Amino acid sequence: MALIVQKYGGTSVGSPERIEHVAERVLATRDQGHAIVVVVSAMSGETDRLVGLARQIDVHPEPRELDVLLATGEQVTIALLSLALHKRGCQARSYTGTQVRILTDSAFNKARIRDIDEAAVRKDLDAGRVVVVAGFQGVDEHGNITTLGRGGSDTTAVALAAALKADECQIYTDVDGVYTTDPRLVPEARRLDRITFEEMLEMASLGSKVLQIRAVEFAGKYNVPLRVLSSFQDGPGTLITFEDDTMEDPLISGIAFNRDEAKLTMVGVPDEPGVAYRILGPVSAANIEVDMIVQNIAADKTTDFTFTVHRRDYEKALEVMNRTAKELGAREVTGDTKIVKISLVGVGMRSHAGIASTMFQALAEEGINIRMISTSEIKVSVVVDEKYLELGVRALHEAFHLDKAPA
């Protein structure tokens, strides 16, 4: 008998019928002799409905009260799922974040979990009950209701699995696992049986929105085996594991991409110590998050400084940069919103220098000009013109034989 934490997202619990379907899945796992904790999100559309109500009253809703409002979404789901389990003769008990006691800090709308009191849940499990927990929410030390921010239900599931020392944390979504790249872009994309935590982190942060990045970090930190599965079809999903597993890692696990970025360059900046800080300081002060950063040294004692931001921040960043350029005596500021970032991810690339050159060659053969390059231990990212997204991803998928399972 294993202890399994299952998490079902908003689409999986989007209607009473779907909730009954989830109840059937939970019972199937239970009939295999496992103890189960189920974490659920709000029914799809419910959080947006609640935010809409709040915005009708105030476009900038007060954070504490917004959390009181939003927390009702998951509370509805835990009650309905518990009702569906009861109807099937299964003893079940629902818990809000407050009732479990998922203790968080007091950062309303984006709280972080500090501690979980698993005593009550454990007692119910020991009594043979299925425990149904509201994801996304917690309580601070003063008894205020908090929420973890969008997608926080994944984090709740992983944190509960860690606290309960569960054998596996299963994240049910509307996809049946993690793919080598987006199957909508590349039909040959293949579901991975396994992926390492580090690769998953790179995949997630690069735009493969299967799992919330904080949940993956959490799982890695507490050694919680994490599995991504589909709630609509059967299958083993993708297991997210530790690198020191016995498996033979393929060179490249997958190709991620991000269409939401824009690029800004300050051209002809006097090349002095501290210039990077003087450029990025004001950007950061304006609450703009920066992703890739590249600096080239030019011949004439000036340098070009390029970075990417989210497209929604482009105009604001441009404004900030123009001010800074004047102060620094830079030649000009250029920018481009019609770009995409494509990244190769794989723990295997650490020991294989040839990865980057194979990547650049594959892109060159298709006539795709690389505008920016950035590398890390387990990924190589390039920025190319937006129009090359599909062609570039397909070329790389083929060049690295990702359609074929590793031997």
| Residue ranges that bind a second copy, judged by CB under 8 A | 16, 19-20, 50, 53-54, 56-58, 61-62, 64-66, 68-69, 71-72, 75-76, 78-80, 82-84, 86-87, 92-94, 96, 98-99, 120, 143-145
Return the HEC string of the chain. Answer: CCEEEEEECCCCCCCHHHHHHHHHHHHHHHHCCCEEEEEECCCCCHHHHHHHHHHHHCCCCCHHHHHHHHHHHHHHHHHHHHHHHHHCCCCEEEECHHHHCEEECCCCCCCCEEEECCHHHHHHHHCCCEEEEECCEEECCCCCEEECCCCHHHHHHHHHHHHHCCCEEEEEECCCCCECCCCCCCCCCCECCEEEHHHHHHHHHCCCCCCCHHHHHHHHHCCCCEEEEECCCCCCCEEEECCCCCCCCCCCCEEEEECCEEEEEEEEEECCCCHHHHHHHHHHHCCCCEEEEEEEECCCCEEEEEEEEEHHHHHHHHHHHHHHHHHHCCCEEEEECCEEEEEEECHHHHHCCHHHHHHHHHHHHCCCCEEEEEEECCEEEEEEEHHHHHHHHHHHHHHCCCCCCCC
Would you say 264 and 309 are in contact if contact means Cβ atoms under 8 Å apart? yes
CB of 37 to a second copy, least distance (A): 16
β-pairing, 130-134 vs 35-40, is parallel
CB of 364 to a second copy, least distance (A): 56
CB of 5 to a second copy, least distance (A): 20
CB of 19 to a second copy, least distance (A): 7
Cβ closer to a second copy: 82 or 173?
82
Interatomic CA distance for residues 147 and 125, integer angstroms: 25
Cβ closer to a second copy: 71 or 255?
71
CB of 122 to a second copy, least distance (A): 15
Cβ closer to a second copy: 13 or 383?
13
Q: Considering only CA atoms, which of 335, 281, 330, 348 is closest in space to residue 309? A: 335
CB of 355 to a second copy, least distance (A): 51
CB of 172 to a second copy, least distance (A): 19
- Alpha-carbon dihedral of residues 4, 32, 7, 203, nearest 10 degrees? 80
CB of 241 to a second copy, least distance (A): 36
Cβ closer to a second copy: 76 or 293?
76
Q: Considering only CA atoms, which of 247, 253, 169 is closest in space to residue 208? A: 253
CB of 78 to a second copy, least distance (A): 6
Cβ closer to a second copy: 82 or 302?
82
CB of 66 to a second copy, least distance (A): 7
Cβ closer to a second copy: 143 or 274?
143
Q: Considering only CA atoms, which of 14, 121, 6 is closest in space to residue 76? A: 14
CB of 136 to a second copy, least distance (A): 14
Interatomic CA distance for residues 320 and 335, integer angstroms: 13
